[in-house]
Amino acid sequence: MTIGSQVSAGSSPSIAEFLFQTAKAIPANQFYGNETETSLYEQWAKQTEAKRLQLNGSSDGTLGPDHLIKLLGSGSDYSAFYQHLGIISVDLGFSISNQAPYGVYHSSMDSIMYSELYGDPHYATHVTTARWWGLLGLRLADDQLLPFDYTTYAIVMMEDLAKLEAKVTGVDFSELHKAIAHFSVSANAFHTELKAFAVDAADVDAVRAWNEKLVLLERHLITEEGLPHRPWYKHVIFGPGFYEGYAGAALLNHQHTSTSRGSTCCYVVDAKLS
């Protein structure tokens, strides 16, 4: 969706910092023409804080620690790539309000003519969208080492595990805590070594090997058996919620089986993270 002033982004944690960096380099979306923010990131953060205040403490379904990016759910093209194949994905767009997209969305009047006459007559949001996607594409094509970062994954999982523990009683989550801690240590060590390598990354074969690791790590979070009752969804950390519609949720393997199979599900996650 490219009509409206409200920034919306969902992605894997591994690409979150990349989205922040590019949003900081892009001018704010001048949808109304009187916006005062300097960068798209500043605008995004301000809008997200305003949305959060309206929720009165309820979860906004965003990824920690920054809580700007939404968990990827379903109902869009990325679902097959991310939840079935484990390919790093991002869902970027804009909406006219916090609650809904523009009024004619998915109707017979949802057309180029509507956009040019009423929806975005100055093409302001279209320009901002093109700038953001364009910069993302240029960075992915030109950066010697891919700008992916797995160090925040553990923070996201610990936050969502805490929410799960608040809902479920009588289940031992100690193995899952250990698995997440193990992943955190490994991810930090990985990126420390990568940072040292980047100082003088002259070896083409070594660069290729590092980039392959950065791309393929997310795919190791796919399990062949898939989620309980929904085997097509194979990502063991994120996916569409069972009762949330299109909205995303975390640690779904546990959410659907904790009452029946208990802590044995931890070993599925532990095997993927270790």
15: domain CATH number? 3.40.630.10
Task: Based on the fold, state whether residues 116 and 232 are members of the same structural domain.
Answer: no
Is residue 148 a part of any domain in this protein? no
Q: Are residues 177 and 128 in the same domain?
A: no
Structure confidence at residue 90 (pLDDT): 93
Residue 64 domain-assigned (yes or no): yes
Mean pLDDT of 132-143: 96
One domain for residues 135 and 173: no
Name the residue with higher pLDDT: 109 or 205.
Answer: 205
pLDDT at residue number 256: 55
Asked if 234 contacts 84 with a C-beta cutoff of 8 angstroms, the reply is yes
Residue 147 inside a domain? The answer is no
**Does the pLDDT of residue 210 top 70, yes or no?**
yes
Top pLDDT among 29 and 166 is at: 29
Q: Does residue 120 surpass a pLDDT of 50?
A: yes
| Residue 161 and residue 249 in one domain | yes
What is the percentage of the chain residues whose pLDDT exceeds 90?
Answer: 39
In this structure, is residue 56 part of a structural domain? yes
Q: What is the pLDDT of residue 273?
A: 45
Strand-pairing partners, residue 250, are 238
Longest CA pairwise span in the chain (Å): 58
Residue 128: inside a domain: yes
Domain boundary residue among 86, 109, 142? 142
Range 156-161 average pLDDT: 85
User: What is the per-residue pLDDT for 47?
Assistant: 92
Task: Let me know whether 53 and 121 are in one domain.
Answer: yes
Mean pLDDT for the chain overall: 84
Q: Distance (Å, rounded) from C-alpha 265 to C-alpha 256?
A: 10
CATH classification at residue 196? 1.20.930.40
Question: What amino acid is encoded at 204 in this protein?
Answer: V
Pick the last residue of a domain from 142, 166, 192: 142
Q: Are residues 42 and 160 in the same domain?
A: no
* Residue at 220 is within a domain: yes
144, pLDDT greater than 90: yes
Residues 131 and 41 in one domain: yes
Give yes or no: residues 168 and 117 share one domain.
no
Distance of CA 73 to the CA centre of its chain: 9
Q: Which residue has the higher pLDDT, 164 or 151?
A: 151
Domain identity same for 45 and 120: yes
Residue that terminates a domain, selected from 115, 142, 169: 142
Arithmetic mean of pLDDT, 43-49: 93
Kindly indicate the confidence band of residue 244, based on its pLDDT and cuts at 50, 70 and 90: low
**pLDDT average, residue stretch 46-69:** 81
The residue with tokens 């804009």 is 94
Residue 51 resides in a domain: yes
Q: What's the mean pLDDT in 160-170?
A: 82
Within this chain, do residues 114 and 161 fall inside the same structural domain, yes or no? no
Rounded mean pLDDT of 197-204? 90
Give the domain extent around 206.
Answer: 153-273
What is the pLDDT, as a whole number, of residue 267?
A: 44
DSSP codes of every residue in 32-98: SS----SBHHHHHHHHHHHHHHHTTT----B-TTTT-SBPP-SSSTHHIIIIIT----EEEEEESSS
Same domain, 252 and 158: yes
Higher pLDDT, 263 or 95: 95
Distance in angstroms (rounded) separating the CA atoms of residues 21 and 24? 5
* Start-to-end C-alpha separation, the chain: 38
Q: 72 lies in a domain?
A: yes
pLDDT above 70: residue 111: yes
Instruction: Band the pLDDT of 168: cuts 50, 70, 90.
Output: confident
Say whether pLDDT at 255 is over 70. Answer: no
Q: 168 and 128: one domain?
A: no
- Indicate the number of domains in the chain: 2
